[in-house]
Each structure stands twice: as structure tokens, then as C-alpha cells.
Amino acid sequence: MKTKVSIIIIEVISNYQYCGPSNIRYIVDDDYNFISKYISTKSIDGTINDLIVKHTNIDPRYFKINLADFIHQEGSTESEVVYVVTVPADSVIIKEGRTVNSDEINIERKYEPAIRKFPRSITY
């Protein structure tokens, strides 16, 4: 069985607006997908660290990376673990990929529950 780790990085631009998606941006790869990687010889924590360090300047020790969902379709040999992390606006440097507004990306339905679980505000 193959396991894929996906990380949804949500950059909060302004105070939380319940009906307004314009207050958040997502960090995605060059193909406009959430950053992800299959687990090989490393642990889940090692894979998460590799993904974050490859794509951003975020230090995983300073941001809470939340387990949001586990996706497995019956009969499939693949599973996906989804994590969500929220970061303040303009605190992330993108090394690889891009930042997009929610209207610039087609979010797959399987990720919607994970995104809805976490508030789009930063309170530390």
C-alpha cells in the first residue's frame, strides 16, 4: 500500500470573514496542487519536514501542523494523509511552487472537509 502525505498551507491575509474566501491564500506546487509526497523510507514527520522545507521557509517547529483527514477509497492500494497548517500573511517565502487565491485554484472535493475543519484566522 502506498501512502501519500499532503499538506494544505493556508496563508491568512486578513481577519476571519465567514463568507469571504478572499482572506486566505493557498501554497501550491507548480501544477496548482496542494504540496504532497509519497512516504518512502522516512517517517511521516520526516516526510512532512521534507515537503515544507522544499517548498517554503516555514520551520515546522514553530507552526502547528494539524492532522486533518485520512482518505482511502475502497479497493484502492493508495491512501492519503492530509495535514493543514495556517500561517500569517507575508510570513512565508515560497522556494518552489506559488501562492494562489481560492478563486485561482480548483480544490478537489476530497480536500474540502479538511479545509473546513480549521478556522481561517490566526490566534497565537
pLDDT reported for residue 19: 47
Could you tell me whether strands 66-72 and 35-38 are parallel, antiparallel, or unpaired per DSSP bridges? unpaired
Cell of 96: 518552489
* H or E element at residue 27: strand 24-28
Q: What is the pLDDT of residues 70-124, one digit of tens each?
A: 999 899 899 999 999 988 888 888 999 999 988 888 889 999 888 887 665 554 4
Question: Greatest CA span in the chain, whole angstroms?
Answer: 42
Q: Where do the domains of the chain lie, and which CATH numbers do they carry?
A: 2-116 (3.90.79.10)
- Rounded Cα distance, 71 and 65, in Å: 17
DSSP 3-state assignment of 28? strand
Q: What's the whole-model pTM score?
A: 0.85
Residue 64 corresponds to which cell in the numbers above? 502547528
DSSP class of residue 43 equals -
